[in-house]
Each structure stands twice: as C-alpha cells, then as structure tokens.
Amino acid sequence: MAAFFVINRTSLVTGLEGSFWRVGHGREIELGRRSLIMAIINVTPDSFSDGGRFETVDAAVEHALQAVSDGAAIVDIGGESTRPGAASVSPSEEQARVLPVIEALRGRTEALISIDTYRAETARLAVGAGAHIVNDVFGLQKDAGIADLAAATGAGLCIMHTGRDRVKLADVIADQAHFLERSLAIAAAAGVNSDRIVLDPGFGFAKETAEENLELMARFSELSRFGLPLLAGTSRKRFLGAVTGREAPERDAATAASSALLRLQGAAVFRVHNVAINRDALAIADAMLNARQEFERKRPT
C-alpha cells in the first residue's frame, strides 16, 4: 500500500479521538467522536428490502428528510439496485431518478448528500447538483473516472470492496487488502487526498456465505491497517437473515446489533435503512467507548 495513505488515525480503533472527512462543496464532518449514520435512500423499483417505496421524487425527498430528523448525518441517494441479480439500468435512467432528488434536498437540509453510483458521469452530474460524496460500490475499479472527478471537485469518496466479477483470495482480510490497495492506488494516481476517503469492506457483496460475512465482522478491526475511516453497511443483509431467520424488512434489530458490534471494532460511519433503531444502538456503543476512555484516563499508571 502506498505510504501516501498511511496516516495516523489511532482514533479509528477506539472511535473516540476526532478526525475530519473532507467532502465536496467545502464541507467537512468530524469522524470518530460519535457514530455517523448514512441513510439509504433507494430511488428504485427493485431494491431488495424497500424497492418501489420511494421511487418518486417527493417520496424520496420526504424519506430523506425523515431520516435526517431521525439522526442521519448523510443521505445516500441511489438510482440502481445493487442486489444480486438486479437488472442494470441505463446511465440516463439512473440520472433521471437521482438528480431531481439531490436538487430538491440541496435546499432543504444541511445533511451531507451522497450519490451511490459506479458511473463517473452520474457522479459528475450529482456533484454538480449538490452531492458532497460519491459512494462507489466497485471501488473505482469499474470507472476510474470517479477518482478523477473526486480529485477535481474535492468530493468525498466511499470506496467499497467487492468480490463481484473476479476471483477472490481465500482469506477475507487478504482479499480486502488485495482489492482496496488497488483502489487506493487509483485514487492516489488521480490526486485524491487521503482525507477525502472512507473505506467500506462491502458486507454482502460477493461474500458468498453467512460465515464469510461473520468472519469479516469478527476481524473488522484488522482493517485499521489502512489508516483510513471505515464504513459498515450490514443493513438488512442476507447473512443477518441466515442468523436470525428473518426476512429483509424484519432485520433492523439484527442490523442495529451488528452496527454496535462494529462500532466497538472501529467503524465510524454506518449505512442503514432504519436510522432510529441504529441511532439508539450506536448511542450505547458510543457511551461505552467514552466510559472506557474515561476509565483509562483515570487509571493509575
């Protein structure tokens, strides 16, 4: 991994000391002292747990504003389902879905706006419409133009690991390193500053079994090797259903439990469907981490 990206972020292991994620339009947001929630806003007819509920502009905007009221610091707008087997949509259709929502939200909330896309042209138009962050589920490796766009505009980047369309390494953390180091090299070559980047290990994205996802959860703290903030996106994923026996719309309690556990292992941002239940679970995790820090501060050496 390039030394350019190896920075001192000890705070991301404890989740307590503050650092800043610098994003588009001159904005920044503090990471580490408290959990940050990114609300999932699917402007699609076929997303795996809420497809069709928010596919109109008005419904998507109201849903996003409610998520902010419930405690989301970021709203992530997506116009194409990324569930396994979902049909691809054309760039023009994706843009027709998301751009009016971003334009409407820009004037109605101070929350950060993220565009969930792997297409550089959609990302460019979304940032122009007011988005602060580009969330790329192919980690810059499907369209490297997203890295150029981020460098040119200062947009924040969520770089996600995926096992789709390639042969993975057997060890889950070795495969994370193999994929994400390439993504970070693409970002560095484009001139993206490291303080613009958050990494997402991509729970459920070609992690073929519940056991693989659970091992990734169990070893999540090993991802601190990258020295970059980490995003956890377990919301309503199939592996939670395998553990609990519940269908996707009934997995919010399991999601909240996984969010709290991953917070204790260093996750800073949590991408979720149900903001309120995750907010409460993460408030407990944050309080425990703060109590531990206070105990360690007072403990005689």
Rounded to 10 degrees, what is the CA torsion of 78, 82, 86, 92? 40
**Res 2: pLDDT:** 39
**Res 51: pLDDT:** 53
CA 150 to chain centre: 16
Tens-place pLDDT, residues 176-198: 999 999 999 999 999 999 999 99
Could you please report the per-residue DSSP string of 19-63?
A: EEEE-STT-EEEESSS-EEEEEEE-SS--TTTTTTT-SHHHHHHH
110 exposure class (CB count in 10 Å sphere: 0-12, 13-18, 19+): exposed
Q: Is the dihedral of CA 102, 164, 272, 34 positive or negative?
A: negative
Question: Where do the domains of the chain lie?
Answer: 21-298
Q: In angstroms, what CA-CA distances link 53 with 41, 59, 81?
A: 10, 8, 13
Q: What CA–CA distance (Å, rounded) separates 38 from 29?
A: 12
Could you please report the per-residue DSSP string of 248-287?
A: GGG-HHHHHHHHHHHHHTT--EEEES-HHHHHHHHHHHHH
Q: What CA–CA distance (Å, rounded) separates 42 from 94?
A: 11
Angle between helices 252-264 and 275-298 (to 10 degrees): 20
271 classed as catalytic: yes
Per DSSP, helices labelled H in 117-207 are 120-129, 145-153, 172-190
**Res 138: pLDDT:** 97
Count of other CB atoms within 10 angstroms of residue 279: 18
237 classed as catalytic: yes
Q: What CA–CA distance (Å, rounded) separates 64 from 53?
A: 12
Q: Given the structure tokens 């553990």, which residue do they identify? A: 243
> Side-chain half-sphere of 141: how many Cα atoms within 13 Å?
19
| Residues contacting residue 118 through CB under 8 Å, at least 6 positions apart | 136, 137, 138, 142, 143, 146
**Res 197: pLDDT:** 98
Instruction: Report, in angstroms and rounded to the nearest whole number, the Rg of the chain calculated over CA atoms.
Output: 18
- Contact status, residue 69 vs residue 57, Cβ threshold 8 Å: no
DSSP state of 141: S
Tens-place pLDDT, residues 4-30: 333 333 333 443 357 899 999 999 999
- Two structure tokens written together for 10: 């000890």
- Two structure tokens written together for 268: 């800073």
Q: What CA–CA distance (Å, rounded) separates 260 from 211?
A: 19
**Res 10: pLDDT:** 37
Rounded to 10 degrees, what is the CA torsion of 182, 6, 258, 39? -80
Question: Could you say which residues of the chain have pLDDT below 50?
Answer: 1-16
CATH superfamily of 21-298: Dihydropteroate synthase-like (3.20.20.20)
Max distance between CA atoms of the chain, in angstroms, equals 62
Q: What CA–CA distance (Å, rounded) separates 129 from 283?
A: 33
Q: Out of 119, 196, 271, 279, which one is annotated catalytic?
A: 271
Q: Out of 237, 251, 263, 279, which one is annotated catalytic?
A: 237
**Res 85: pLDDT:** 66
